[in-house]
Structure 1
Amino acid sequence: MALPAASPVVIRFGRLGDTVLLAPLLRKLHLRYGAPCRLVSLGECSRTLYGSSEDVAAVHWFASQHGWLWTNPRRLAVALALRGMRGAPFYICEPDVRTRTKVRPMLALAGIPAEQCVFIEDIPLREGEHWIDWLLRFGDLTPEAFAGTPALDPSRHLHAPSLRATPDERADASVWLSAHGVEPTQPLVLLQPANKRTMRWNGVRDAADDDKSWPVEHWAQLARAILQWQPDAHVLLCGCAAEAGYLAAIRAEAGLPRLIAPAGGLPLGLLRGLMERAHSMVSVDTGPAHLAAAVGCPLVVLFGHRWPSMWAPRSAGGSAVTVLGGLPHTPRVDGIGVEEAAQAWWRLPVRAEPALPVAAARRVPAQAAYSAG
């Protein structure tokens, strides 16, 4: 499909959570320019997240930003693909260091004129501002070459991501749940214990070196409390394949037959389908928590050494998001008690029925595994 020359290009080399938080900006730019965006991003998760989005026409991704451009074949291929986008406005959402070392060399190789680009580093983050609101302010900027582009009425764009599951993801989730003995009428509660720093090459990172680490016994106690209060439920430990041993340790500590710890991890598309089906989720501050809110799954988030005012997940559908911990008062997740987390979960409002599938959603050819981030 040929795209209009003004189809915006958005560049962001973030992890899962960063990529989820782009959704309102992508929507805003789609409305401003009258054409869906082209996303240049890090990791196959972006293709899974936005492969069926009406706000994204194409996803250009590569697995790693490390090393020189000329020694990273996939990043080099994406840079060369930018040559076909020379007539577009470019929105670069990267911090200044990565802009200098990673993005500008790609733009130079592609021959993208400076007057077609705007950089988020040129509008500093305000004190207490949420990351999404910063991105939306950035979306008000206009590259010099597109000075005639009208501004967008602020009432028309969203301030929270909405990334519902595709029909195929819903079907895959139903099959998976049936295979694991979860009936359609039984509540499913998700736990996300790991974050991007949990695992090292040689095993689980020392808890003292991870402010988002909640002890294994705390997760086990929380699972017991959930199943005591809702005995017909199943609890699912979410994570990628590399975290399977960590999840198995939680399951062994809990000793509960209704606590599921998948040995092979959960592909991202399947996880999104399960989130849409789930009763609720308890998660550390990490990428899957943002996805849960974007899907409409009621959520409790445990924060460590980060500001919830800047990073708390948002739900476009109005599903509940309860934040525990975080700066300035609780700089480590292990400062949050099991009883506090359990009570916060218990007080979550019951979710509404999931939305119906979006018509003519595009099939994503493959499901990417996810890592928390």
Structure 2
Amino acid sequence: MALPVASPVVIRFGRLGDTVLLAPLLRKLHQRYGTPCRLVSLGECARTLYQGSADVAQVHWFASQHGWLWTNPRRLAVALALRSMREAPFYICEPDVRTRTKVRPMLALAGIAAEHCVFIEDIPLGEGEHWADWLLRFADLTPAAFAATPALDASRQLRAPSIRATPDELAEARAWLAAQGVDAAQPLVLLQPANKRTMRWNGVRAADDDDKSWPVSRWAKLASAILQWQPDAHVLLCGCAAEAGYLASIRAEAGLPRLLAPTGGLPLGLLRGLMELAHSMVSVDTGPAHLAAATGCPLVVLFGHRWPSMWVPRSASGSAVTVLGGLPHTPRVDQIGVEEVAQAWWRLPPRPVDIVPAAMGERRARVA
């Protein structure tokens, strides 16, 4: 796609949750400059998330930022691609000094002038400020070369991500559920037990080394409680292929036929489609929780050693997000009891009517 030279370039080497939280910033920059953004990201998730987005025209990604630029062919190729964007405004959203040093060599190789760049490190994160609000403040900055760009009326700002499933993803999710023997008229509850630190090369990380770890027995008891309260439901354990063994251990502990644990993991597009169709989700504080809120899936999220005020998932649709745990009082997820989580799930209000997918109205009415 041929883009005007002023189409903004956003650089963020984050994981899934970080990439979801970019959505309000991308929307704001699109509105400010009048053209959709070009996103430079770490990992392929950004391409899936923003496929078809009105705010993102192109995604350039590479799998790893480790090592020297010249020894990382994919990262080098992206850096060279930036040469065609020299006339654009660049928004570098890397908050960590070490990571930011990975960006500067790419900018230098591409010949990006300093007056075309702004860095989020130049505006410190406020005390208790949510990450998305920090990004929105950053979007108010203007590179010197674009000083004439007008500010944006604050009333037009979307302060939460909205990242909906595509029609193909919804169709894939419905087909996948049918293949598992799940009736589309029955409620689907998602559980996300793992986070990016859960698995190590030699197995599951020790619980005392992971403040987001909730014991297998508690996930099993939660699934049992959900199915007792909602006996016609199915509960689906979500995770990637590397976490399949961990999910299987939860299913084995529970011994429930209506508890599903996919052996090959759930690709991101399929997961997003399932979130659109699901009744609700219970998750530790991790990327899929942010995606669930962005799709409008009612959510209970368990926090460990992080401040919910900075990281709570946000929903642009108004779907419920209930937070349990987190600093300053609960620094570990395993300090949260099963009954507290089960009650929080039970009290979740239904998905807003205006975002209930087609053929789900009857299901939501029955569950509510």
Report the equivalent of 2:122.
Answer: 122
Change in 2 beyond 3 A, CA 1:354/1:98 = farther
User: 1:83 — aligned with what?
Assistant: 83
Separation of aligned partners in 2, 1:352 and 1:31: 27
The aligned counterpart of 2:364 is none
Partner of 1:49: 49
Deviation at 1:352, TM superposition (A): 3.0
**Aligned residues of 1:277 and 1:354 also touching (Cα < 8 A):** no
Equivalence for 1:105? 105
Measure, in 2, the Cα distance between the counterparts of 1:17 and 1:194.
14
C-alpha displacement of 1:157: 1.6
**Structure 1 segments of 4+ aligned residues over 4 angstroms from their partners:** none
Matches for 1:16-165 after TM superposition, within 5 Å: 16-165=16-165
Residue equivalent to 2:294: 294
1:220 counterpart SS class: helix
* Structure 2: distance between partners of 1:98 and 1:16: 20
1:11 is paired with a residue whose SS is strand
CA drift of 1:97 comes to: 1.8
Query: How far apart are residue 85 of structure 1 and its match?
Result: 0.3
Cα distance in 1 for partners of 2:120, 2:167 equals: 35
Q: Tell me, what secondary structure is at the counterpart of 2:67?
A: coil
Instruction: Tell me by how many angstroms 1:351 deviates.
Output: 1.2
CA contact (8 A) 1:276 1:354 kept: no
Query: Corresponding residue for 1:362?
Result: none
Query: What CA distance in whole angstroms lies between the structure 2 residues aligned with 1:250 and 1:104?
Result: 44
Measure how far apart 1:99 and its partner are: 4.8
In structure 2, do the counterparts of structure 1 residues 354 and 167 end up closer, same or farther at CA, with 3 Å as the change threshold?
farther
Secondary structure (helix, strand or coil) at the match of 2:79 reads: helix
Residue 2 of structure 1 deviates from its aligned partner by 1.0
Deviation at 1:355? 3.7
- Which deviations, in whole Å up to 9, do the C-alpha atoms of 1:289-336 show, x marking residues without a partner? 000000000000000000000000000000000000000000000000
Is contact 1:190–1:238 with CA below 8 Å preserved after alignment? yes
Secondary structure, counterpart of 2:115 in structure 1: helix
Q: Give yes or no for contact 1:281–1:300 (8 Å, CA) kept in 2.
A: yes
Paired residues for 1:132-211 under 5 Å: 132-211=132-211
Residue 186 of structure 1: CA displacement?
A: 0.1
CA drift of 1:276 comes to: 0.3
In structure 1, what is the Cα distance between the partners aligned to 2:180 and 2:343? Answer: 28
Q: Deviations over 1:40-78 (max 9, x none)?
A: 000001100001110000000000000000000000000
SS state at 2:273 partner: helix
Residue 311 of structure 2 aligns with which residue?
311
Unaligned runs of 5+ in 2: 358-368
CA offset at residue 268 of structure 1?
0.1
Contact 1:275–1:292 (CA<8 Å) still a contact in 2? yes
**Contact 2:317 / 2:355 at 8 angstroms: preserved in 1?**
no
Q: Contact 2:9/2:39 (CA < 8 Å) preserved in 1?
A: yes
Structure with more relative contact order (C-alpha pairs < 8 Å, separation 6 or more): 1
Structure 2 counterpart of 1:323? 323
Q: Report how far residue 211 of structure 1 moved.
A: 0.1
Return the letter of the residue paired with 2:345: W
Matched residue type, 2:87: G
Which amino acid in structure 1 is aligned with residue 67 of structure 2?
G
Instruction: Report the Cα offset of residue 353 of structure 1.
Output: 4.4
Offset at 1:354?
A: 6.5
Which residue in 1 is equivalent to 2:279?
Answer: 279
Match of 2:365 in 1: none
SS of match in other structure, 1:163? coil
Letter in 2 for 1:67: G
User: Which deviations, in whole Å up to 9, do the C-alpha atoms of 1:129-167 show, x marking residues without a partner?
Assistant: 000000000000000000000000011120000000000
Q: Which moved more, 1:97-106 or 1:232-241?
A: 97-106
1:181-260 superposed matches below 5 A: 181-260=181-260
Count of residue pairs brought into register by the alignment: 357
In structure 2, do the counterparts of structure 1 residues 208 and 179 end up closer, same or farther at CA, with 3 Å as the change threshold?
same
Unmatched 5+ residue regions in structure 1? Answer: 358-373
Q: Equivalent pairs: percent with the same residue?
A: 86
Q: Does structure 1 residue 4 correspond to structure 2 residue 4?
A: yes
In 1, Cα distance between the equivalents of 2:94 and 2:100? 9
- For the aligned residue pairs, the C-alpha RMSD in angstroms reads 1.0
